[in-house]
């Protein structure tokens, strides 16, 4: 099969499109012909060899556990009715950056009717994380919600949900095109946080109302600016650091301003009921309640996909698809 292999940690161009042996499903496993594979922000850091997330893999490595496709074969003890089924999993092996992957049948979901492979692979991790984040945030229609990275995979889903709930939604994203996309999702206020005075723009647009909840996937200086917009009694909830620079308000500042801090990502990793939450995320998308956004790249252009994601030139989830 063709796959994208990392032989040496470093820049995006170290990802090589080459031929490797086909994986073979063992007991309890299915072989998936990959139609869509998700690319995660943390994988760009792992590719560089940065130890800021999961343990680094042994090299050579094929990244990407998020896989959607068609079951091509099954292991010796797996019901053959799986063959031909459209499925999605968050645990493809050796990785989803390939034409074929295997997964434990217990970790595989049949894709609901009406949901395509790209949408399903977007929801299996990104959608599940967004649902978990929203559970933690417990938003109400009275909230004024600021979402950073609002044009990203998680951010777009959160903006949609908060808008449907009736909350006042402020979406912050980088560049005019992304700001327009966020406004189109229903954000009451959409701002370009690459501009130096973006926080002041938010204050002016809200006309004296304070932000009650920040859902931040960026951290760094933009996270600090978002934190500064919170009113007394507000909540700062972080779901990741796309900036690769951590921001953590200190205890004294939290007490002085009467603001609560929650590291949602750590909570989700520690306590998420993954299979049930994955099913719930897929169901939300199949029902049209959440519309996942994705940007596709051919498998052979995975290096370009990584470079675009790192430079924040993508909108929605980055998804790899087979070459024509």
**pLDDT value, residue 47:** 96
Both tokens of residue 7? 């032989």
129 neighbors 42 (Cβ within 8 angstroms): no
Kindly give the confidence (pLDDT) of every residue in the chain, 324 residues in length, as a single tens digit, with 9 standing for 90 and above: 999 999 999 999 999 999 999 999 999 999 999 999 999 988 999 999 988 767 899 999 999 999 999 999 999 999 999 999 999 999 999 999 999 999 999 999 999 999 999 999 999 999 999 999 999 999 999 999 999 999 988 999 999 999 999 999 999 999 999 999 999 999 999 999 999 999 999 999 999 899 999 999 989 999 999 999 999 999 999 988 787 788 889 899 899 999 999 998 888 877 666 788 899 999 999 999 889 989 999 999 999 999 999 988 888 899 999 998
User: Which of 43, 223, 258, 82 lies closest to 149 in space, CA to CA?
Assistant: 223
Chain centroid offset of residue 298 CA = 19
**pLDDT value, residue 271:** 65
Helices (H) and strands (E) in the chain, counts: 11, 15
Sorted by sequence, the CB contacts under 8 Å of residue 278 that are 6+ apart come out as 90, 109, 123, 124, 128
**pLDDT value, residue 242:** 80
DSSP 3-state assignment of 60?
coil
C-beta neighbour count of 228 within 10 angstroms: 14
**pLDDT value, residue 237:** 95
**pLDDT value, residue 246:** 85
Whole-structure pTM value: 0.88
**pLDDT value, residue 312:** 84
User: Which of 224, 228, 192, 197 lies closest to 210 in space, CA to CA?
Assistant: 228
């Amino acid at each position: 099969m063709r796959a994208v292999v990392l032989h040496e940690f470093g820049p995006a161009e170290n990802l090589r499109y080459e031929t490797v042996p086909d994986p073979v499903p063992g007991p309890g496993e299915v072989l998936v012909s990959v139609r869509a594979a998700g690319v995660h922000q943390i994988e760009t850091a792992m590719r560089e060899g940065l130890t800021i997330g999961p343990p680094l893999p042994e090299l050579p490595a094929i990244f990407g556990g998020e896989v959607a496709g068609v079951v091509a074969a099954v292991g010796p003890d797996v019901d053959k009715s799986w063959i031909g089924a459209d499925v999605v999993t968050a645990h493809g092996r050796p990785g989803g950056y390939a034409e074929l992957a295997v997964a434990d049948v217990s970790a595989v979901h049949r894709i609901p009717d009406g949901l395509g492979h790209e949408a399903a692979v977007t929801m299996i991790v990104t959608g599940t994380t967004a649902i978990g984040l929203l559970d933690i945030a417990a938003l109400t229609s009275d909230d004024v919600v600021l979402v950073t990275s609002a044009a990203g995979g998680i951010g777009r889903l959160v903006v949609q949900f908060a808008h449907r709930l009736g909350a006042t939604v402020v979406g912050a994203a980088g560049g005019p095109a992304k700001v327009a996309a966020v406004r189109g999702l229903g954000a009451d206020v959409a701002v370009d946080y690459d501009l130096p005075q973006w926080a002041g723009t938010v204050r002016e647009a809200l006309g004296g109302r304070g932000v009650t909840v920040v859902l931040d996937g960026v951290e760094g200086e933009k996270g600090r600016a978002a934190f500064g917009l919170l009113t007394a009694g507000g909540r700062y909830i972080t779901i990741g650091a796309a900036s690769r620079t951590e921001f953590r308000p200190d205890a004294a500042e939290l007490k002085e301003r009467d603001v609560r801090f929650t590291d949602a990502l750590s909570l989700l990793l520690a306590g998420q009921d993954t299979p049930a939450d994955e099913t719930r995320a897929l169901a939300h998308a199949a029902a049209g309640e959440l519309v996942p956004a994705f940007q596709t790249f051919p498998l052979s252009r995975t290096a370009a996909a990584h470079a675009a994601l790192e430079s924040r030139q993508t909108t929605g989830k980055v998804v790899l698809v087979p070459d024509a």
